[in-house]
Structure 1
Amino acid sequence: MRALHAVGARVIGVGERPKEALDEQMRHWLTHYEQVGNVTSPEQVMGALSVVRDKVRIDRLEATVEAHMMCAAKVREALGVPGTSVQTTFLCRDKPAMKEALRAAKVPCAQSIGSGDVDEIRSFAAGVGFPVIVKPRDAAGAAATYRCENVAELDAALRECGVGSGRSVAVEEFIEGHEGFWDTICVGGQVVHEFVCHYYPNVLEAMRTRWISPQFICTNRVDSADGYGEIKAMGRQVIAALGIETSATHMEWFYGPKGLKFSEIGCRPPGVGAWDLYCAANDVDLYREWAEAVVWHTRKQTLSRRFSAGIVALRPDRDGRILGYEGVGEIERAFGQWIIDAHFPPPGTPTQPVSAGYMANAWLRMKHPDYDELRRMLDAAGRTIQVRAG
């Protein structure tokens, strides 16, 4: 909202909360607001925008939350508003259809199927070999994702996902290797800003293992180090194949014994505050750059690549309520000049499950001109800071 308002857009919001529940700044940025009961209902959003269209022309309709993307695409198409199409949105949400389209475009992907038939899924797993990954067809990140090492684990995951009771899932060959992501802002199908990040460890392990303090790091070597050219070339191939035009994108990839493999892409910004890291690392307001792209179809700022920047998630040692923290002062004394920001919920705060993500509990974000030094600093923070709960 802030960025759209700043570049001169007349911003009209559609949401589920009453206008009175919005903060003062939000109300200032908005020209008009329409409340609906369900922002994922095309009929309700259409109804709200029909009121708006009687007064002003609608030039763009944008959504940045994964669950809202298809509704926005359907409404855009019905109203004749420019933006990401229903077909592109479907391909960016339905994992089996996405990979089928990209395999046809010669993008290297894991073998996969989408199915609601237990016997078909078992046959697929037998053909590609265990382990296999089971997840919702429209999953975001590692939500409701299972790694199955054998038939018994596969059957349990399928039952959990509702297969055999009318539900269909994505089932994929497990790809061994290091995991990262490539994010962009695109204008007219052309990449105008891009970023490469690395996960330590891979997401599935990070979201399942309490003792790990996982991190991801945006590298400032993306334009200079060997290897990133292959990621950037594959990403552009994906954008072209899926018909992505003016949008933010978030693409996951793996690199291992089978080489570079595409994992999935969202036609939206990344989560977990990744854009904040990109801003801090590159002396740029990326939110304003996104607004420039969707409103004026242009790029205004240049990335400095001065820093790498990353986040380390700090997990409570058990579920319950936060009791306190150890080691925070030591890290602040050692690396204070490089700390971007941090979040330490006060004692008494209920803990969140490990699977809730990198920012669910305590976290710390840092930057440094040298990528390897930043990794060392984040590792030190993960080892030193202890979150006590009980």
Structure 2
Amino acid sequence: MTRVLVCRWDPYILDVLRAEGAEVALLFDAFEAAHFHVDESVLATLQHVFRINSFDDMDELAQIVTELRVAGWTPDRVVSLSEFSQYGAAFLAQSFGLDGPALETALLTRDKRAMKQAVRAAGVRCTDFVSLRTTDPAAGARRTAQTLGFPVVVKPAAGLGTLGTAWIHTEDALERHLRDVSDDGLDHFLMAERPVLGEELHVDAIWVEGTCRWLGVMRYRKPRIAVTTAGEGNGSALLPREEWADLYAQVEQMHTDVNRALHVRDGITHLELFVEEGTGELVFSEIASRFAGGGITPTYRAFGDDLRVAWIKTVVAPDAPAPYAAEVPQDYVGWVNLAPAEAGVIVAEPTQQDIDAFDYVVETVRPHGVGDEFSDPHPSAWCLHLIYRADSLEQFEDRGRELEQALNPLFAVESAEPGTH
């Protein structure tokens, strides 16, 4: 029986692991305990459960290593389910003498500056960047102007998705932005990138001992930086491999080179790249050593397992058959995120009857619903995912707009201030 040490509360993954016959130990941190709905009945089914302050607290993690050794429970695999548990998972794996995840891989996939340095050294074309520190905003802004010019995309060096990402158009604006970020008095690290014009793709893949077990290429409806609110233009379509064979071949070669540069051999990855306007060349953007968010992994349920399930099966049984071998989509399957236009407590949303009026929708996924607080309608605020089909990319986009126009107005929110609902 495979023993798996899981970093992060995720009831879906825990259910899958138990269904696959794994023994599970779980770590989750104070943030998750405060903001997620941790189900004590689920915790009772696990071999070991640890509530910790932070995945970055090495002293806490070291004590857990000792506790598990005393209990005679040594994991076969350590898996990180979030961006912010990557270093902790690597520390735990190294402490137990496992091959991975490795600390070096955590560094290279968490810090986008280190990532781009390593990828560029491997011969992969990627976006130019300047490293920034908030301790000297004027110098950073000046160096960006001299090296990249404007506009630039500025993001946290170790951020998540598009959170904290901004378009900056002048040197003065960049200096102000850096001063705003540093208003807590701490030293923060960011990066400015030269933007790439063109279509943005994401690639989701499963790896076992350096071998790709599955790879899917999806096209965002809009480049992520161009999505300004949660419920408009927010989604992506899976490109059929047969129709896009040349693109898949190029992407697979890029991904192989990226993995070699970042020492990625096992697990699930989410890579983003651009198809440059005019040249058609692929330009690497970034990669995460975790599964994707939004409606990306549920899209795969249209022709088999959720991509997370396919990955977990390889965690428990690395020799398991490759996923989706008999079910390659010939049409365009993808997702759209619908959401309120403003923050507040959700008091009304599209019903399933409303959604059923669109016969091309194959599944409804509700990360949030009536009664939940929708705190900020930024591009990564997931509310209602609709998985749907189309015969072409043009039809996929048309249907996405149709769903937005018909269903987004059915959301209603009320102020989340005390005493208002």
* Smaller-chain TM-score bracket: 0.7 to 0.9
Residues 237 and 335 in structure 2, CA contact (< 8 A), matched pair in contact too: no
Instruction: Point out where structure 2 has 5 or more consecutive residues left out of the alignment.
Output: 1-13, 415-421
The 5 Å alignment of 1:114-263 reads: 114-116=131-133, 117-118=136-137, 119-162=139-182, 166-206=187-227, 208-209=228-229, 213-225=232-244, 226-257=246-277, 259-263=281-285
Residues 318 and 389 in structure 1, CA contact (< 8 A), matched pair in contact too: yes
Residues 246 and 293 in structure 1, CA contact (< 8 A), matched pair in contact too: no
2:60 is aligned with what amino acid? Answer: Q
Please give the secondary structure, in 1, of the residue aligned with 2:77: coil
2:266 is aligned with what amino acid? Answer: T
TM-score by length of 1: 0.88
The 5 Å alignment of 1:71-86 reads: 71-86=88-103
Residues 214 and 322 in structure 2, CA contact (< 8 A), matched pair in contact too: no
The 5 Å alignment of 1:1-390 reads: 1-16=14-29, 17=33, 22-28=39-45, 30-54=46-70, 55-116=72-133, 117-118=136-137, 119-162=139-182, 166-206=187-227, 208-209=228-229, 213-225=232-244, 226-257=246-277, 259-278=281-300, 280-303=301-324, 304-306=327-329, 308-322=332-346, 324=348, 331-335=355-359, 338-343=361-366, 350-355=373-378, 357-359=380-382, 361-368=383-390, 372-385=394-407, 386=409, 387-389=411-413
Q: 1:103 Cα deviation (Å)? A: 0.8
Please give the secondary structure, in 1, of the residue aligned with 2:282: strand
Residues 127 and 284 in structure 2, CA contact (< 8 A), matched pair in contact too: yes
**2: CA distance, partners of 1:169 / 1:334:** 43
2:69 is aligned with what amino acid? Answer: R
**1: CA distance, partners of 2:116 / 2:368:** 40
**2: CA distance, partners of 1:248 / 1:56:** 25
Residues 35 and 48 in structure 1, CA contact (< 8 A), matched pair in contact too: no
**1: CA distance, partners of 2:351 / 2:24:** 44
**1: CA distance, partners of 2:373 / 2:186:** 35
Residues 322 and 347 in structure 1, CA contact (< 8 A), matched pair in contact too: yes
Deviations 1:214-258 (A, max 9, x none): 232241413431423222221121111111011111111111235
**1: CA distance, partners of 2:370 / 2:96:** 50
Deviations 1:302-328 (A, max 9, x none): 311235432222232444444545797
Residues 182 and 251 in structure 1, CA contact (< 8 A), matched pair in contact too: yes
Gap change, CA 1:89 and 1:313, over 3 Å in 2: same
Gap change, CA 1:347 and 1:168, over 3 Å in 2: closer
Gap change, CA 1:228 and 1:125, over 3 Å in 2: farther
Residues 219 and 371 in structure 1, CA contact (< 8 A), matched pair in contact too: no
Please give the secondary structure, in 2, of the residue aligned with 1:227: helix
Residues 140 and 175 in structure 2, CA contact (< 8 A), matched pair in contact too: no
Gap change, CA 1:230 and 1:37, over 3 Å in 2: same
Residues 291 and 308 in structure 2, CA contact (< 8 A), matched pair in contact too: no
Please give the secondary structure, in 1, of the residue aligned with 2:109: helix
Superposed CA RMSD in Å reads: 2.8
Q: 1:115 Cα deviation (Å)? A: 2.9
**2: CA distance, partners of 1:267 / 1:21:** 24
Residues 341 and 377 in structure 2, CA contact (< 8 A), matched pair in contact too: no
**1: CA distance, partners of 2:261 / 2:367:** 43
Deviations 1:68-96 (A, max 9, x none): 00111122223312212111110111111
Higher alpha-carbon deviation: 48-57 or 246-255: 48-57
**1: CA distance, partners of 2:66 / 2:367:** 44
Q: 1:369 Cα deviation (Å)? A: 6.3
**1: CA distance, partners of 2:26 / 2:350:** 43
Residues 186 and 246 in structure 1, CA contact (< 8 A), matched pair in contact too: yes
Q: 1:131 Cα deviation (Å)? A: 0.9
1:222 is aligned with what amino acid? Answer: R
1:50 is aligned with what amino acid? Answer: T
Residues 161 and 380 in structure 2, CA contact (< 8 A), matched pair in contact too: no
TM-score by length of 2: 0.82
Please give the secondary structure, in 2, of the residue aligned with 1:237: helix
Instruction: Point out where structure 1 has 5 or more consecutive residues left out of the alignment.
Output: none
Please give the secondary structure, in 2, of the residue aligned with 1:231: helix
Residues 141 and 172 in structure 2, CA contact (< 8 A), matched pair in contact too: no
